[in-house]
Chain A
């Protein structure tokens, strides 16, 4: 990972004010089930398991839980903008800019299935697909960026969300290879036990202030 030259010395950079945001719209009030992810979003060392433990300890559901689920159901669903806000603020490992500024992450390349607009059963699984556009086609750090995005979302989202990370088609020379690595749960778990790699990723998260 130590390189004498940057992969792309002159990337195109977008001004923060040009990036997609919810400004001007009424920001949804965050409370109830969603506010408990705050400590995850703000804290770095906690594992996602710890935070969602509360939900799990009472499973399988009795009547009381059903009500809790019903409450969660009426909350604002997680949408693409919210995903964008979580990951566009991650720093590039090589440039002093965020993935949003470098257009590595784009709002149009975030897909949630089923769509947040659809009403779904409270225990239904959701899939978040994020297509990443590395700054140049042979960017050697694509895997690290993809890993950081996956880890960030897995920590921040409820456990019913499955995260799929892919290189945007044609954007990277070894698409399939990188995609397969990022989809491999066992490899991701092992990578996060590598202190060097973990350090790089934690550093990328320091700009995630939300």
Chain B
């Protein structure tokens, strides 16, 4: 891995949203980005870096978060929004070219519709007041608000889809996590059931995230299903949840160590050597980013037990439930960069690099040396220091851990706080490796969404 990287600002997405923007969520496969702000969501095209469509009129208070439903057939989009109005909204977008069986069709639609809309949007910005009305008539045909998920008592802070799309998790200031199951007969048949209300946190639940579908996750799928959920809270803890085989969702681990609100978390996205269980990254008001790992003990014994019983059957005796308890430890604290709350961090499934940002307006990128080469890495850092950028290797204590700072940018959104950072594939004409090259996208209090080239 390179000893340092450079972040170069690209042209911001147009138009800006002109109010605090909370988060920008890339579609898992298509060149689309959903930015939450005020009571709506703006969808940007990653091909043109301009507005594609908007989701308006579904919520009575700010939309805090959004998640794309994974694994939909071509030509269909589904976004779930979580709002301060205590509801989650389910939205659907049908491509006009329904007869097309081509997987690329939606991407083409996205590109063309963006291009045709751009001039009229610019005209609207200039014309000012009637902006809202004309915008609505423009987009209402596209996005349909199809379902409201009600149940939380207070603001929803985060929503997340399980990798299969079967489960949706929502969390709220009411200290609970709700798990909803898609029980509709077909895609587009919107019927969702509440399968669990988890209320073990002592404070607001700030974020939820499902473990990705990598080999290491499925290898551990012994007791219940393979799905694993993590939640981060105002009570400074992180909790891990699994289904116990009897349809009950239980807390299998409490991760303690952060000294402030845990603003969020993300699972490691790429498969690990030896099919280890994915690690978990958490970030906090205590200005640290932490990495947690499952202690995979009793591997032999559990393998033995596995032979006798089908792990998917519901007939697991209660005495085995103790086996659900998991031992998680903090295996790394990333080098200190930030001076205030870390509101967001993103772990690239492609490169393994982590980016973080927050109240201090700094964007930092970290890289990990393979632990078996730790000694070598230390030497590399020492040798790289004289020639490297002043902001990169200088502050790293080689002995602390194998993570080091690869690059930082101060005042990423000028004087404003940055609420969100995410890795995102590039599809714009500026890249020669469309859909492969990764960039960072940051979202701030200034209402701008900014892409950053990584070199």
Contacts and interface: CB of A to CB of B under 8 A. Distances in A.
Interface of A: 47, 49, 53, 55-56, 59-60, 123, 125, 158-160, 162, 180, 183-187, 189-190, 193
B20 to A, nearest CB: 7
Given A186-B206, A190-B84, A125 B415 contact: yes
Nearest to B360: A125
Interface of B: 9, 18-20, 61-62, 64, 84, 154-155, 157, 173, 204, 206, 234, 261, 285, 340-341, 343, 359-361, 410-411, 414-417, 445-448
B19 A187 contact: no
A49 B19 contact: yes
14 contacts: A47-B19, A49-B20, A56-B448, A125-B415, A158-B415, A159-B445, A160-B415, A162-B417, A180-B234, A189-B62, A190-B84, A190-B154, A193-B62, A193-B84
Given A49-B18, A184-B285, 6 more contacts: A59-B446, A158-B415, A159-B414, A185-B359, A186-B157, A190-B155
Contact of A190 (B173, B360, B416): B173
B414 A59 contact: yes
Contact of A49 (B84, B173, B359, B445): B445
Contacts of B448: 56
A184 B361 contact: no
A58 to B, nearest CB: 10
A187 B173 contact: yes
Nearest to A159: B415
Contact of B414 (A56, A183, A187, A193): A56
Nearest to B261: A184
Contacts of B360: 125
A55 B411 CA distance: 14
Contacts of B62: 189-190, 193
A182 B448 CA distance: 25
Nearest to A59: B414
A47 B446 CA distance: 12
B341 A186 contact: no
Contacts of B19: 47, 49
Contacts of A193: 61-62, 84
A56 B416 CA distance: 9
B403 to A, nearest CB: 25
Contacts of B18: 49, 53
Among B157, B410, B415, B416, the most chain A Cβ lie within 10 Å of the Cβ of: B415
Leading 10 A-B pairs by shortest Cβ distance: A160-B415, A159-B415, A59-B414, A190-B155, A190-B84, A56-B446, A193-B61, A123-B411, A159-B416, A193-B84
Contacts of A55: 414-415
Among A60, A162, A185, A193, the most chain B Cβ lie within 10 Å of the Cβ of: A185
Nearest to B203: A180
A60 B343 CA distance: 22
Contacts of B340: 162
Contacts of B154: 190
A186 to B, nearest CB: 7
B310 to A, nearest CB: 44
A162 B359 contact: yes
Nearest to B155: A190
Among A53, A180, A186, A187, the most chain B Cβ lie within 10 Å of the Cβ of: A186
A144 to B, nearest CB: 18
A60 B361 CA distance: 14
Nearest to B62: A193
Contacts of A183: 285, 341
Among B154, B204, B341, B414, the most chain A Cβ lie within 10 Å of the Cβ of: B414
A123 B361 CA distance: 11
Among B62, B417, B446, the most chain A Cβ lie within 10 Å of the Cβ of: B446
A187 to B, nearest CB: 7
A189 B20 contact: yes
A203 B19 CA distance: 24
Contacts of A187: 173, 204
Nearest to A123: B411
Contacts of A123: 410-411, 414-415
A37 B226 CA distance: 55
A187 B155 CA distance: 9
A17 to B, nearest CB: 37
Contacts of A186: 64, 155, 157, 204, 206
A56 B64 CA distance: 23
Contacts of B361: 125
Contact of B261 (A158, A160, A180): A180
B414 A185 contact: no
A49 B447 contact: yes
A55 B416 CA distance: 11
